[in-house]
Amino acid sequence: MTKRPWSWVFLFAALLLTITAFWQARHQWTVLSRWTSVTGTLLRRDVPRNHDADGSLYFQMKAAFRYPVDGKERESSSMSYFGSTDFGWIAPRVLAYNLGSQYPIHYDPASPEVFEFGAGYNTLYFRTSLRYLWASAVCVLLGLLLRRLSQAPRRCVQCRRTVRSFFRYCPDCGESISPA
């Protein structure tokens, strides 16, 4: 396969990765734009050990909050949207949440016991989507590089000699080389 078809493969992969990034971000966007935002008081926090789909150990913060819903206090718990297989990565994020302190949370108006904490326009909340966008940017760069490398060399119109891209005149016959 030559460079030109590979450039299209990378550009198509970039398109798919961009679509996937926006697909992954649809839940976060819904939480931030449609769910009700209130201030909740952190009652308990914990880091239970779970297993991800591959069977690896996975750490997520579990927190219980008290927050107002339609003038009444509600107490509910939820798992964090962020998590990791590395306890060292998640520990400082969990320790940033102090018991008894107040934090913004977003709850689903249709089901107030469902809420998320730590939601916001930040890299932690949109981490997965941003990784897909980063991969998409790499694919775009590779695709454009391969397209550039796959272009046929410029030739002199009169003598058909290959000329460099920066030449303004053919070194053999002196014919003017058009910039196009």
Residues 31 and 119 in one domain: yes
Q: Is 175 helix (H, G, I), strand (E, B) or coil?
A: coil
Under the banding of pLDDT at 50, 70 and 90, the label for residue 171 is confident
Backbone angles phi, psi at 58, to 5 degrees: -135, 130
Under the banding of pLDDT at 50, 70 and 90, the label for residue 159 is confident
Residues 12 and 95 in one domain: yes
Residue 28 in domain? yes
Residue 58 in domain? yes
Cα gap 23→14, rounded to integer Å: 14
pLDDT tens-place string over residues 91-140: 999 999 999 999 999 999 999 999 999 898 988 899 999 999 999 999 99
pLDDT at residue 153, as a whole number: 72
Half-sphere exposure of 168 (CA within 13 A, CB side): 0
- Report how many domains make up the chain: 2
Residue 148 in domain? no
Cα gap 58→83, rounded to integer Å: 7
Structural domain harbouring 96: 3-140
